[in-house]
Amino acid sequence: LSTATMGAQMSLIAPNLYLGSWQGANNAKLLEENGVRHILTIFDARFSMPACVKQRNHLQFLAADSCQQDIRQFFQQSNDFIHSGRLAGEAVFVHCMAGVSRSATLIIAYLASVTDLPWDTVLSAVRAAKHDVAPNFHFRAQLRLWQNDGGLEAERARLLEKFGPWQEDRDRLLKLAEICAEFERTGYWRGELSIERRGNAFFAVHHLPDAEDEVDDAAAGDTEQAEAREDTTERNGHGEDLEEAIEAVEEAKPSDVAAAGDRDSNE
């Protein structure tokens, strides 16, 4: 297993699956070097796409990074687009403006759909690969509701019937989630070169006291209260190369992370 990170522009989340920013979509050299043949764009307006995007299989959704946006409506089409590309052995790049909220939500939904892992375990795994990932509280509430009302399970069944079984991502995601959980316990990223800087950036975004309360309020329909809690801290930091970190947990005993996601399904 290996990971690769190209700054905020493009981060490898799983084999042939990249998450990143608008800058990554504009970087023809980076796209070519990583074998990207499929690009999924999610913006709140249509932009004139560069030639390096037009030359590839391209899908675009119109969606704002806001508490009024229904992002769940895109999950099925997004899943089909991403999975078809990966099944063909080709790399897929999913991006929004910053690669933090909208595009990250689509990747979380996809990886939860092709594994049996809960959405929040997948979120931890994606954060380990790209540290600034932070879906807005409304998107996290939609992911939680999607899991709790049976939508996620139905999507798993649909993908299984359409594409067949897929066993490629589960173990890797659990290892990444364990790395994220270790950081939450210790403040240390395995394989990091700049521990303090990355640690401060991670906590600034993901560990404010009201972070989970925002999701709970939104899931309960109390949008006004959720908005009052919303974190407006500037998002900083991005993933580093996690090769050493993943290797370090390769033979580790199963952690509590593997079962951590059960808490949502029991709510």
User: Is residue 24 very low, low, confident or very high in pLDDT (cuts 50, 70, 90)?
Assistant: confident
Given 52, 67, 96, 180, the catalytic residue: 96
Residue 61: domain span: 5-255
Q: With respect to residue 41, please indicate whether it lies within any of the assigned structural domains.
A: yes
**Spatial separation of the C-alpha atoms in residues 42 and 35, rounded to whole Å:** 20
- Report the candidate in 165, 160, 143 with the shortest Cα–Cα distance to residue 152: 143
Q: How many domains does the structure of the chain reveal? A: 1
Query: pTM to 2 decimals?
Result: 0.74
Per-residue pLDDT, averaged over 152-181, amounts to 94
Q: 164 in a domain, yes or no?
A: yes
For residue 233, tell me if it sits in a domain: yes
Q: What is the mean pLDDT of residues 150-165?
A: 97
Q: What is the pLDDT of residues 41-98, one digit of tens each?
A: 999 987 777 788 888 999 999 999 999 999 999 999 999 999 999 999 999 999 999 9
Does residue 260 form part of some domain?
no
Cα distances (angstroms) measured from residue 142 to each of 21, 68, 69, 231: 22, 11, 10, 17
Q: Tell me, yes or no, whether 24 lies in a domain.
A: yes
Strands 36-43 and 5-6: unpaired
Q: Is residue 106 included in any domain, yes or no?
A: yes
C-alpha to C-alpha distance for 103 and 95, rounded to whole angstroms: 5
Q: Is the pLDDT of residue 194 over 50?
A: no
User: Is 96 among the residues known to form the active site?
Assistant: yes
Decide which of 66 and 206 is more confident. Answer: 66
Is residue 48 in some structural domain?
A: yes
The CATH number of the domain holding residue 78 is 3.90.190.10
Does residue 265 fall inside a structural domain?
no
